[in-house]
Amino acid sequence: MKVVIVGGVAGGASAAARLRRLDEQAEIVVFERSGYISYANCGLPYYIGGTIEDAEDLTLQTPESFYSRFRVDMKVHHEVTAIHREKKTVSVRNLETGGEFEESYDKLILSPGAKPTQPKLPGAGIDKLFTLRTVEDCFKIRNYVVEKKPKSAVLAGGGFISLELAENLRELGLDVTIVQRPKQLMNPFDSDMAAYIHNQMRRHGVKLALGHTVEGFEEKEGGVDVLLKDAAPLHADMVVLAIGVSPDSRLAAQAGLELGIKGSIVVNDRMETSDPDIYAVGDAVQVKNYVSGQDAVISLAGPANKQGRIAADNICGGDSRYPGSQGSSVLKLFDMTAASTGLNETNAKKAGFDVDKVVLSPMSHAGYYPGGKVLTLKIVFEKGTYRLLGAQIVGYEGVDKRIDVLATAIHCGMKATELTTLDLAYAPPYSSAKDPVNMAGFMVENLARGLVKQFHVEDVEKLPRDGSVTLLDTRTVAEYSRGHAPDFINIPVDELRERIGELPQGKPVYVMCQSGLRSYVACRILTGHGYDCYNFSGGHGFYSAVTSDRCLIREAYDCGMEKL
């Protein structure tokens, strides 16, 4: 059996290694158009910033080491230019010599990945304009930074690569601005949780031009002007386009294979295309969203590696299935971590779910052990069934392990109420006896049992101020004096029983505290005295982060770039 693989990075390299482990006699040939195989895309920004010092650390394998270990012929600088399905061959161009030839196959695996989205804008060919996708791209940016010593950069786009690159360029001392058409960074997060990401970037000197559309580029004064729609240009010494990626499905389209959303390659759960002898894996393929069941394109390294393994299994006579992509991800933002899994609230609603949520801000470990820091979790679930749909977390410690627990819970089809039953490891330096994941479950369980009702950040402005409801802040007097939501009166929770007569009977009471815990206690007290009570989900810390961020975005958008 002869297997030809197009693309030698995550999916292609995984498929090649798995094929050899399953079939010692198979002939395996990989064509990779770049000069590198099995490299770590996610590590590229950290080489630019100098955190990864040795360029060789970016490549997990070389063609020589891969051949030595697996006897797989890795041909770099070779581009497959066409697929001839009728005779089961591919046309290949040697990019070093210009020579062309045909290679036959019994089975073909397409792992071409994705290409940076490059809109056809005026000035797109300027030499100070970069993209970051391959090792060669990485070296080009790194060399420019080292040799030209730019003092400023504009990054167009607000996804993973852009934020990681922003951090690394700031660490090198550059003035960095991110411009993004949506009014938030990081689409896997809802806008309320993205507020923490925005605040963190601003805190470290990254300027945010959110809600602005890039219309072109002009060389000016030794640098580049980034032209914006209905706004003054942004000037910088260099620009990186990180608007996103698109499936690189050109070969598949020309060969007549079935394509799906965004031009992606349609595959079944065995990673088979519409041609039974051609498989496809990685960023170029259409998959099912594991939670919603809807078609999706999810460009992450983990799914690509799993898909390569599954394709290899099936080529070798197995019956491995890909259940879909959940989109679990984690991101370092200077000293903060942000992570998400499953559907956020926005996408869950778009998918047709009747959605509810809880927001909580517990400590990362036991409060009596030094060094604990606040985590903010948002748990999204389906009303009625309480099926767990997604989670987002931002914080400084323990974010990664909590998101992995929640990702596993979603994969196993758990209800949000069942998070209470998880037996999670506890020691004071690492967690609390009631882990934040358990706490999220307790909150949902209280909702399910009717012990508490909620209101959310988007509800605060809509609450009537005509005296028909009572707005109550149950933090301490000192906390309240440092800032509070408009029109909320202050009665500390520990004084509430003695001062309950200050609250008029027969009117709903909307209660807020710093994290949501004291206000929940207050709601139980008030409910016991006959009041109709609503607890604010997330607490004043969450409210303050979200509202101040939206104010800053609105101010910068309305008043111009000088307000960034």
Cite the active site residues: 42
Beta carbons of 90 and 102 less than 8 angstroms apart:
yes
167: nearest Cα among 378, 338, 361: 338
Burial letters for 398-407: b for 16+ Cβ neighbours within 10 Å, e otherwise?
Answer: bbebbbebbb
In whole angstroms, how far apart are CA 400 and each of 15, 94, 376? 28, 43, 13
Which residues contact residue 531 at a Cβ distance below 8 angstroms, ignoring those fewer than 6 apart?
503, 505, 508, 509
Using CA atoms, how far apart are residues 512 and 129, in angstroms rounded to an integer? 48
SS (H, E, C) 125-177: CCCCEEECCCHHHHHHHHHHHHHHCCCEEEEECCCHHHHHHHHHHHHCCCEEE
Q: Could you please report the per-residue DSSP string of 489-503?
A: EE--GGGHHHHGGGS
CA distances from 455 to 4, 256, 344, 438, 471 (A): 56, 52, 18, 21, 12
Kind plus residue range of the DSSP H or E element containing 401 = helix 399-411
Cα distance between residue 249 and residue 62, in whole Å: 26
Q: How many CB atoms lie under 10 A from the CB of residue 220?
A: 10
Phi, psi of 467 (to 5 degrees): 90, 0
Residue by residue, DSSP assigns 265-302 as EE--TT-B-SSTTEEE-GGGEEEEBTTT--EE----HH
C-alpha 536, offset from chain centre: 27
Calculated CA dihedral for residues 240, 241, 242, 247, nearest 10 degrees: -140
Residue where the block lists tokens 């389209």: 253
Contact yes or no for 77/199 (Cβ under 8 A): no
Q: Which of 466, 183, 201 is nearest to 332 (CA)?
A: 201
Under a CB-based contact definition with an 8 Å cutoff, are residues 409 and 401 in contact? no
Give the other-Cβ count within 10 Å of 10's Cβ: 28
Alpha helices in 215-341 (DSSP H): 250-254, 301-315
